[in-house]
A and B are shown apart, each in its own frame.
Chain A
């Protein structure tokens, strides 16, 4: 005899769960010839879009490498190429004296950059390096 409400509830619950199991244990099978039809669709797809998978893998790797290079290049640019205080646009709307000092500052920065010997070439080098490593499959 069930002496507590909770036990009765537990029994009811497990009874229902058991019933659910009984009525849901039918595993349906795919119709006859399903695999052949599916494979035919895939062969057809392959004919219309030859080697889709391989091409996509190639491009996804290429984009990944280019992405990494771009991020590296951006980091290098931010670290070694600080944004000038005065842009060229600003130098046009400033008066002659200010424009002179702005131009001086800009040219000074450019000189410094040339001295630092880390220019655009280094960015391109890093991109080239990653493309080469990609081609080599590393």
Chain B
């Protein structure tokens, strides 16, 4: 069976087939939600913002440059919306909001206690990343949580690959320092 490409779907949407757009939503909903959640740190807000992302993608579909990666374009729209949201909610304190049970898959190889500890550790780490300077925070989120390449991060943030590498290195260093004076070990930090 032939798998329809993203570009073909976009052409169909441009030609008036709105139903084809649901395929884009299905393909990218998890990626977008994951990315948005990493910035806003709140499930409900992340859901609303992710929907807004897809509405914006639909509204601006004619602006998509053929030949470029649709995933990068969607992530760029998501990132811009997140930044707008963060700007509007500047005074908001970063709270450790527990993830929904269904959202965070439990590690089946661990017992309940281990899972709880692991969850707490990842929440702490997430909180620490969000406290970083914007330039380091963005690169770290896109690289680690979204698993994007340097090139993709560069095109989303309008940075060169070299700058992405530098920000990643410095961000990691800063994160390690912020996480604790015990060599930046995430596990050790948790045990304090």
Contacts and interface: CB of A to CB of B under 8 A. Distances in A.
A and B assemble together: yes
Interface of A: 12-13, 15-17, 19-21, 23-24, 26-31, 34-35, 37-39, 41-43, 45-46, 51-54, 56-57, 60
Contacts of A54: 14, 16
A53 B62 CA distance: 7
- Secondary structure of the A contact surface, majority rule: helix
14 contacts: A16-B176, A23-B121, A24-B122, A24-B145, A28-B104, A34-B29, A34-B50, A34-B51, A35-B25, A42-B18, A42-B58, A53-B61, A54-B16, A60-B62
Interface stretch (B74-82, B89-97, B178-186): B178-186
Contacts, number: 105
A38 B185 CA distance: 40
B30 A29 contact: yes
Contact of B122 (A23, A27, A43, A60): A23
Contact of B104 (A17, A20, A26): A26
A57 B47 contact: no
Contact of A17 (B59, B100, B172): B172
A38 B16 contact: no
A21 B144 contact: yes
Given A23-B118, A26-B105, A29-B103, 9 more contacts: A19-B186, A19-B187, A28-B37, A29-B33, A35-B25, A38-B50, A42-B55, A53-B58, A54-B16
A33 B172 CA distance: 36
Contacts of A26: 104-105, 122
Given A28-B103, A53-B58, A23 B183 contact: no
Nearest to A24: B144
Per CB-CB distance, the 8 closest pairs between chain A and chain B, nearest first, are A24-B144, A30-B33, A30-B29, A28-B34, A23-B122, A38-B54, A35-B25, A19-B186
Contacts of B61: 53
Contact of B144 (A20, A35, A37, A38): A20
A60 B43 CA distance: 37
A34 B172 CA distance: 33
Please indicate which of the listed interface residues A17, A28, A31 has the most CB atoms of chain B within 10 Å of its own CB: A28
A35 B43 CA distance: 16
Nearest to A28: B34
B26 interface: yes
B125 interface: yes
Contacts of B125: 20, 23-24
Given A24-B122, A41-B55, A51 B16 contact: yes
A21 B29 CA distance: 22
B191 to A, nearest CB: 14
A42 B186 CA distance: 43
A89 B58 CA distance: 53
B30 A39 contact: no
